[in-house]
Amino acid sequence: MKRLLLILLLLLAVAPAAHADRVRVRLFSGNKINSLNVSFDLGTYNLFADGDQLLEAMVGEGRSVHIRPDDGRLHVSVNEDDYGTYTTLHLMATDTACILCLNPEGCKQRTYEGNLEVSLLKNGTLQLVNDVEFETYIAGVVQSEIYGTQSDIFRIQAIISRTWALRNMKKHAAEGYNFCDYVHCQAYQNRCIRPDIMIGAIQSTGETLVDADGHLIETPFHSNSGGQTANSEDVWKAALPYLRSVQDTFSFRMRQSDWVKTISLDRWLSYFRKTHKINVDDSANRSELLHFTQESRKVRLLGVPLTRIRSDFQLKSTFFSVSVDSVTRSVVLHGHGFGHGVGLSQEGTIRMVGLGYSYDSILRHYYTGAVIHLDPTANPAYVENYAAQLARIIEEDKNKKTQVRSKKDDWLGRLFRLRDREEREEVYIEEEQNNEQDWQYEW
């Protein structure tokens, strides 16, 4: 009886999490996919077709599933075996540690955790949707959205990406999924493969950014502010109290701090004359167009929104000054920063973490008056234990003489093997302790 209970508990421990905090993310949303090959890096999957008809149990390492459109339906084969045509296909993970390897025709390979749904779009190409645990998605987003080496950088990105996601769960509701994997929503270009990024994401478990009333805030971010962030109403319409322009010297001397762009004098002037009906022969106008400066951020140039100029000339930012090169008859734009400038500067964040600022003070610097809210159901002991296990894996890696690792031998597999071992040991110890009382349950 007792043994049966333990087995049941063990089964529950490895079964896919049954709670509702999952997301559906469309993958390769920027590509037209004419065919797809799926292989398996870790764990096993069940392959289902229309109405949950099981086509193949336990597809895993060494097998590959090929899917292509065929006369308005999906043709599926496993290795070389033909399985017919259907309207929808599902690859369902049998465990929490399962990794799919997606190779759409003409695209670079990516790997993802969780389940995969394949269907046909109206234009006859494939739609791929990853049904995945919410926090696994967040870790993948963090890896795609920011660079760095310190865990607080990833913790901060995880908090703002989680906050954004929770605010925008219905973004693609009409299309039957939550998010796309492109910058339209948040970049999700792969599963998280780096344990150091995972530590930052795990440490942020349950943390979101809220306003004074406890509501989730908008959390826009950009690569580099150029030294000063922008007010939300200067870039978009709404003036939000937590998206205020702040001085940001932390964004100086980083990869994207400064840029230069040269545009021919004729093109620059005719743009303002033709597109914005500005009299460029008027000396005052001409002087402003050729000698415009921004010591601090401005919003318009001769009434034209800088955001419009940025978009029309594909500039890295609106934070630029103009000078003339009379030899080449061109204007030279000297700009600062990269991105819209509203909210958090990622490179400013990287610098601040490097200087030892705490993650919450960095978030307060960029989101005026915002507060970190901790979900009361978050389990600090779980977070601590998970982070410690990952730290152990990083330490093991450091001590390895070679960097060569097998495809399967990445942190997720190792983490789960580690957990399995610990669980087995726990059960073993518990069984030993209970041996003496076992007779009580024999009835």
CB of 108 vs Zn ion, minimal distance in Å: 20
Q: What whole-number distance in Å separates Cα of residue 28 and Cα of residue 135? A: 20
Q: How far is the CB of 86 from Zn ion (least distance, A)?
A: 27
Contact 344, 366 (CB under 8 A): yes
Report the C-alpha gap between 185 and 182 in whole angstroms. Answer: 6
Which helix (H) or strand (E) element contains residue 321? strand 320-325
Which residue, 175 or 397, is less far from Zn ion as judged by CB? Answer: 175
Residues at the contact surface with Zn ion, assessed by CB under 5 A = 180, 184-185
Give min distance, CB of 24 to Zn ion, in A.
Answer: 12
Distance of CA 287 to the CA centre of its chain: 44
Report in angstroms how near the CB of residue 165 gets to Zn ion at its nearest.
11
Read off the amino acid at residue 117.
E
Query: Cα–Cα distance between 134 and 98 in angstroms, integer?
Result: 15
**Which residue number, 28 or 86, has a Cβ lying nearer to Zn ion?**
28
Contact predicate 25/180, CB 8 Å: yes
C-alpha dihedral over 22, 28, 29, 35, to 10 degrees?
-110
Phi, psi of 137 (to 5 degrees): -60, -45
Nearer to Zn ion, 176 or 380 (CB): 176
> If you write DSSP's letter for every residue of 146-203 in order, what string do you get?
---S-HHHHHHHHHHHHHHHHHTTTTTGGGTSSEESSTTS----S----HHHHHHHHH
DSSP 99-120: EEEEEETTS--EEEESEEEEEE
Half-sphere exposure of residue 299, counting CA atoms within 13 Å on the CB side?
Answer: 11
Determine the Cα–Cα distance for residues 244 and 191; give it in Å rounded to an integer.
Answer: 33
CB 247 within 8 A of CB 228: yes
Can you give the length of the chain in residues?
443
Angle at 181 between CA 176 and CA 187, to 5 degrees: 145
CB 160, min distance to Zn ion, A: 17
Q: Shortest gap between Cβ of 289 and Zn ion (angstroms)?
A: 37
Closer Cβ to Zn ion, 138 or 153, answer by number: 138
The answer to whether the CB of 53 falls within 8 A of the CB of 62 is no
d(CA 367, CA 355): 19
Q: What is d(CA 327, CA 203) in angstroms, rounded to the nearest whole number?
A: 56
